[in-house]
Structure 1
Amino acid sequence: MSLIQSFKFVLSPPHRAALPFIAAGTAIGFLGRITPWRLTRLIGKAGFAFSAFSFYFFRDPKRYSPQEADLVLASADGRVTSIALVPPPHSLEMGTTPVWRVSTFLSVLDVHINRIPAAGQVTKIVYHTGKFLNASLDKASEHNERNEVRLTLPDGRNIGVVQIAGLIARRILCFVKEDDRLEAGERFGLIRFGSRTDVYLPPGVEPLVTEGQTMIAGETILAKL
């Protein structure tokens, strides 16, 4: 990535979900500047810093998704922490046959916009309240607060995508609803302040990524159908 591309990536316009945080931080910052007390001035500086962080955290860079119909793309930026053969979530009603699950951990420095991995129709969405364990732990898939999405492909096969809250993440946003038809790489959600995203591949489909690999949502090829 060139220096100019790096600046464009860092300075990408934020998603609209950032606006309340940027506005609140900026308001606190200005209030701190107009008061004579040292403590409130320090709080004001913290407000401006929080606004700057929110602008960076919620950045929403443009992505260029491969258009081949047989590709499964990464749903999240971050690092692959686990690739395991496990049954899909029971609540998504995708059967009990073990399939490959690719888990991607997002730090607070990663882009947190989630993207749909393949073209298809959203046929089920299930939200679970839960704990806020470290999202890199394997048990976070079952115990943490999470949002599960079942995507049905044109050939009838299913892909599961699960947004999982972490230690810091306290809010999962899902922009889509059941029956929506989406193209590969379209935005479908956001998790605030550190999290994890699991992708459950269809039976017989193997991942083309490895643990430790860095993912780019909507661009990295996760598997081929």
Structure 2
Amino acid sequence: MGVLMLLSGVVAGIIALFGLFYKFWFLRDPLRLAPSGNNIISPADGKIIEIKEIHPDSKGDIKKGKGVIQTVYSDTILHGKSGYLITIFMTPFDVHYQRAPYDGKVVYSKHKKGQFRSAEKPRPQNENNQILIRTRLGNMKVIQVSGFIARRIVSFVKENQNIKKGQKIGMIRMGSQCCLIIPKMTHKMKAELKIKKGDRLKAGETIIMSLGK
């Protein structure tokens, strides 16, 4: 009887410690100040695992059997323009909030069903939430991607909502993956991509692309 009570106490203590750790570490929300100037910033904390240039003829449909799970690029890269798909891996120890990469208006926030595979590699076939933002630079999309552990995605925005650069737009519990699709700018914009594969990013602070005008 005494042993059972001792074990029960140990288990209860472990659960309580995990609850405190989850609340004060995993759900932490540090102050982030968006950099001034004309630039596009990171939507998520984490490490860049892929930077891919995409074109209007890129295959954005991810198929499973005969059914299309999602179309990634078709409503983002418009009018014959090209763009970039930046994939960020978030560990359980990263801050889990996502932020707006640029000022704009939310076109939609849509949940897409899919798989729950490990997010250490690009996983466009995983369950996700896609937030399409219309900006003066063109459409941008933030994709919150689930993983093997992280299966709860929350969006804080709704259709036709105006958002500011650096504003919190959602969260993924326990880490996972976040993708950003941005248009490729014209030479007149004097745009410069400021990141590379392997870089560590901070949501709302790290500059993804600087713009001269």
TM-score (norm 2): 0.81
* 1:37-116 equivalences in 2 (<5 Å): 37-54=5-22, 55-68=24-37, 70-86=38-54, 87=58, 89-90=72-73, 92=75, 94-95=77-78, 98-116=82-100
What stretches of structure 2 of length at least 5 have no aligned partner?
61-71, 186-190
Structure with the larger RCO, 1 or 2 (CA within 8 Å, 6+ apart): 2
TM-score (norm 1): 0.77
State the partner residue of 2:200. 214
Deviation at 1:121, TM superposition (A): 0.5
Percent identity at matched positions? 31
- 1:20-77: CA deviations, max 9, x gaps? xxxxxxxxxxxxxxxx712211221111221122120010000111132x21000001
- 1:60-104: CA deviations, max 9, x gaps? 000111132x21000001111111113461564544754211111
State the partner residue of 2:142. 161
Structure 2 counterpart of 1:168, one-letter code = I
Q: Which has the higher helix share?
A: 1
Q: 1:44 to 1:190 in 2, by over 3 A?
A: same
Deviation at 1:224, TM superposition (A): 2.5
Q: Check whether the contact 1:100–1:206 (CA below 8 A) recurs between aligned residues.
A: no
Q: Check whether the contact 2:98–2:169 (CA below 8 A) recurs between aligned residues.
A: yes
State the partner residue of 1:146. 128
Does 2:180 correspond to 1:190? no
Q: 1:84 to 1:172 in 2, by over 3 A?
A: same
Q: Check whether the contact 2:109–2:155 (CA below 8 A) recurs between aligned residues.
A: no
- For the residue of structure 1 that corresponds to 2:20, the secondary structure is helix
d(CA) in 1 for partners of 2:41, 2:111: 23
* 1:116-155 equivalences in 2 (<5 Å): 116-138=100-122, 140-141=123-124, 143-153=125-135, 155=136
Deviation at 1:194, TM superposition (A): 2.0
d(CA) in 1 for partners of 2:75, 2:14: 42
Q: CA RMSD in A?
A: 2.0
Q: Which has the higher strand share?
A: 2
Aligned residues: 187
Structure 1 counterpart of 2:176, one-letter code = S
Structure 2 counterpart of 1:130, one-letter code = G
What stretches of structure 1 of length at least 5 have no aligned partner?
1-35
Deviation at 1:208, TM superposition (A): 1.6
